[in-house]
Amino acid sequence: MVRGKTQMRRIENATSRQVTFSKRRNGLLKKAFELSVLCDAEVALIIFSPRGKLYEFASSSMKDTIERYRNQVKDVQTDTSSVEDVQHLKNETAIMAKKVELLEVAKRKLLGEGLGSSTVEDLVRIEQQLERSVRIIRARKMQVYTEQIEQLKAKERLLADENAILTEKCQSQKDQEAEEMRADLRVVENGEISDVETELFIGPPETRTKQRWLK
């Protein structure tokens, strides 16, 4: 009797589904064992039944095999991420290079170079851009002039204040000197300055006494 081809879909009958699971499970575990023995391969197999029961097979240690699997997957993911990062950087570099090229072309056109392939619309757009740039530059120039004028005015006010302080000090010093001169003149006029007479005698005391009597 020829067996019919099994359709790969869920078995609706619960009993038939359980029987098929038991047969296929045992066959899968047997194949895993044969693969590990015949080919000297490290095999780990984990099966959960529809009811959640665990069936497993490991040719060595299930824990070690799972850890080896995790490390392998981690390395593969790291390598994949590195490749993706490199590709992303290449794409970003290509985009930036294209932008730089477009900026260089626009710069040359603003300088009046490379206009041979420009259309009338391109020339009008360049002219309008230049006019806007000139207006911005002029406005900035006037702003700088105004700021410089304000700074000069502030310096002028500061110098004027310093000059006023120095003038006041000079005038005060002159007034003090004049007052001292007037005080000296008043002393002279009042006769407070007089000559002082000094008697100087050289000789013995007797001679000095005689001279006093003679006077």
Residue 103 CB neighbours (<10 A): 10
CA distance linking residue 69 with residue 75, whole number of Å: 10
**pLDDT of 199 strictly over 80:** no
What pLDDT is stored for residue 125 in this prediction?
A: 86
| pLDDT tens per residue across span 133-146 | 889 999 999 999 99
What pLDDT is stored for residue 212 in this prediction?
A: 52
**pLDDT of 197 strictly over 60:** no
Instruction: Write the DSSP string, 75-88.
Output: HHHHHHHHHHHHHH
Residues near 17 by beta carbon (within 8 Å), at least 6 away in sequence? 10, 11, 50
CA distance linking residue 49 with residue 24, whole number of Å: 11
Residue 196 CB neighbours (<10 A): 4
What pLDDT is stored for residue 144 in this prediction?
A: 93
**pLDDT of 165 strictly over 80:** yes
Rounded to two decimals, what is the model's pTM? Answer: 0.36
**pLDDT of 202 strictly over 70:** no
Look up the CATH superfamily of 12-60. Transcription factor, MADS-box (3.40.1810.10)
**pLDDT of 80 strictly over 60:** yes
| Structural domain spans, the chain | 12-60, 119-185
- Three-state DSSP class for residue 74: helix
Greatest mean pLDDT among 17-31, 93-107, 118-132, 176-190? 17-31
CA distance linking residue 50 with residue 167, whole number of Å: 108
**pLDDT of 24 strictly over 60:** yes
Helix ranges (H only) for the chain are 14-39, 62-110, 120-189, 205-214
* Residue predicted with more confidence, 77 or 50: 50
**pLDDT of 121 strictly over 80:** yes
